[in-house]
């Protein structure tokens, strides 16, 4: 192992390697995966001089702590959190020079759920099907990090962005998801369709990288039975037997047998990555573009 490496001292509740994901393999049963909050991942790559496809760390709830073996530029963004180097506070949302052997500690999220850690050169684990992303559903890519894991780093390819302030949206107080109805909206009663786009839901604690589960009014079916398994897309809103909508996120299955009442626009999904349990969710019907 060269000195271009990052040692994991504290892995946290769930820290994974993520990049742009592996789209284009659904016909093989392989989910897309990739960073849930893509704008935050893109930002830490810009701040550290990386191209958009470079792999970063995605932390969940309580952050992580890592120790580079050589002096590197790093950045933390996404969910606001306290960031320290060897116990001294450093900037969040800005490039930070971390000396070799120093400990970068990413604290618990103060709001939102997921913080992103970028490092110059990117995380250089071996790609699988063109991506370095951890996929929790299929098990492809590197496993979730554990204490003591050592991650190889790539070579820097650019100069980090020099900014005083990196504007980022705050984690949502209310998650508003624009949804195009279909293809199986006909499986639900007219009252259920009105409920879906007019009644508030809440983010369930059972949500994860596979799907954002909701709590609220159950949606009544207009017809019984189940569908044969059919293809699923990112943002599909599937309704299981309990009647509560589930929004498919990056690690979603590629097929499913429950009816899809609608599909959320991709631009609205990054906010779902930061929506804590209990956050109000509102589905807003829009026309196909």
pLDDT single digits (tens) 95-129 = 999 999 999 999 999 999 999 999 999 999 999 99
**Shared-domain flag, residues 126 and 257:** no
- My answer on whether 201 and 92 are in the same domain is no
Is there a single domain that holds both residue 119 and residue 25?
yes
Same domain, 116 and 195: no
Domain boundary, last residue among 82, 117, 152: 152
Answer yes or no: do 199 and 278 share one domain: yes
pLDDT at res. 119: 98
Bigger pLDDT: 159 or 25?
25
Residues 229 and 123 in one domain: no
The predicted pLDDT at position 167 comes to 67
pLDDT tens, position by position, 125-171? 999 999 999 999 999 999 999 999 999 999 998 777 666 556 677 78
Q: Output the pLDDT for position 2.
A: 59
Assess if residue 279 is contained within a domain.
yes
- End of a domain among 152, 167, 199? 152
Report the chain's mean pLDDT, rounded to a whole number.
94
User: How large is the average pLDDT for residues 214-236?
Assistant: 93
Residue 163 lies in a domain: no
Is the pLDDT reported for residue 64 higher than 70? Answer: yes
Under the banding of pLDDT at 50, 70 and 90, the label for residue 61 is: very high
Q: Tell me how many domains the chain contains.
A: 2
Residue 167 domain flag: no
Q: Do 109 and 27 belong together in one domain?
A: yes
The answer as to whether 48 is a domain residue is yes
In terms of domains, do 32 and 136 share one? yes
**Same domain, yes or no, for 99 and 186?**
no
Domain end marker among 152, 187, 217: 152
Residue 161 maps to a domain? no
Q: How confident is the model at residue 63 (pLDDT cuts 50, 70, 90)?
A: very high
Q: Are 126 and 210 members of one domain?
A: no
Tell me, yes or no, whether 234 and 134 share the same domain.
no
Q: How confident is the model at residue 49 (pLDDT cuts 50, 70, 90)?
A: very high
Q: Is the pLDDT of residue 44 over 90?
A: yes
Give the residue numbers spanning the domain of 234: 175-285
pLDDT, tens digit, 9 for 90 and up, residues 165-206: 566 777 889 999 999 999 999 999 999 999 999 999 999 999
Residue 231 is part of a domain; what is its CATH number?
Answer: 2.40.100.10
Q: What is the pLDDT of residue 171?
A: 82
Same domain, 132 and 250: no
DSSP string, the chain: --S-EEEEEE--SEEEEESS--TT-GGGT------SSHHHHHHHHHHTT--TT--EEEEESS-EEEEESS-EEEEEEES-EEEEETTEE--SSS-EEE-TT--EEEEEESSSSEEEEEETT-B-PPPBTTB----TTT--SSPPP-TT-EEEB----SPPP--S----PPPPSSEEEEEEE-SSGGGB-HHHHHHHHHS-EEE-TT--SSEEEEESPPPPBSS-S-PPPEE--TTEEE--TT---EEE-TT--SEESS-EEEEE-GGGHHHHTT--TT-EEEEEE----
pLDDT given for residue 1 in this prediction: 44
Instruction: Assess if residue 168 is contained within a domain.
Output: no
Q: If pLDDT is split at 50, 70 and 90, which confidence band does 224 have?
A: confident
């Amino acid at each position: 192992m060269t000195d271009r490496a990052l040692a994991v001292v504290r892995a946290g509740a769930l820290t994974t390697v993520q990049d742009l994901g592996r789209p284009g393999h659904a016909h093989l049963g392989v989910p897309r995966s990739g960073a849930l909050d893509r704008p935050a991942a893109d930002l830490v790559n810009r701040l550290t001089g990386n191209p958009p496809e470079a792999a970063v760390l995605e932390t969940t709830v309580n952050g992580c702590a890592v120790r580079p073996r050589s002096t590197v530029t790093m950045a933390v963004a996404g969910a606001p959190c306290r960031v320290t180097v060897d116990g001294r506070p450093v900037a969040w949302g800005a490039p930070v020079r971390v000396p070799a052997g120093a400990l970068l500690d990413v604290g618990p999220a103060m709001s939102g759920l997921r913080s992103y850690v970028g490092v110059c050169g990117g995380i250089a684990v071996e790609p699988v099907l063109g991506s370095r992303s951890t996929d929790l559903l299929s098990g492809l890519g590197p496993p979730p990090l554990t204490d003591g894991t050592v991650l190889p780093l790539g070579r820097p390819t650019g100069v980090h962005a020099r900014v005083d302030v990196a504007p980022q949206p705050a984690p949502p107080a209310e998650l508003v998801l624009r949804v195009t109805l279909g293809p199986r909206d006909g499986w639900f009663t007219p009252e259920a369709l009105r409920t879906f786009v007019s009644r508030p839901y809440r983010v369930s604690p059972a949500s994860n990288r596979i799907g954002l589960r909701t709590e609220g009014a159950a949606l009544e079916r207009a017809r019984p039975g189940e569908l044969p398994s059919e293809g699923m897309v990112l943002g599909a809103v599937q309704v299981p037997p309990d009647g509560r909508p589930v929004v498919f996120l990056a690690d979603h299955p590629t097929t499913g047998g429950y009816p899809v009442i609608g599909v959320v626009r991709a631009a609205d999904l990054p906010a779902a990555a930061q929506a804590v349990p209990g956050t109000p969710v509102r589905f807003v019907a829009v026309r196909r573009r």
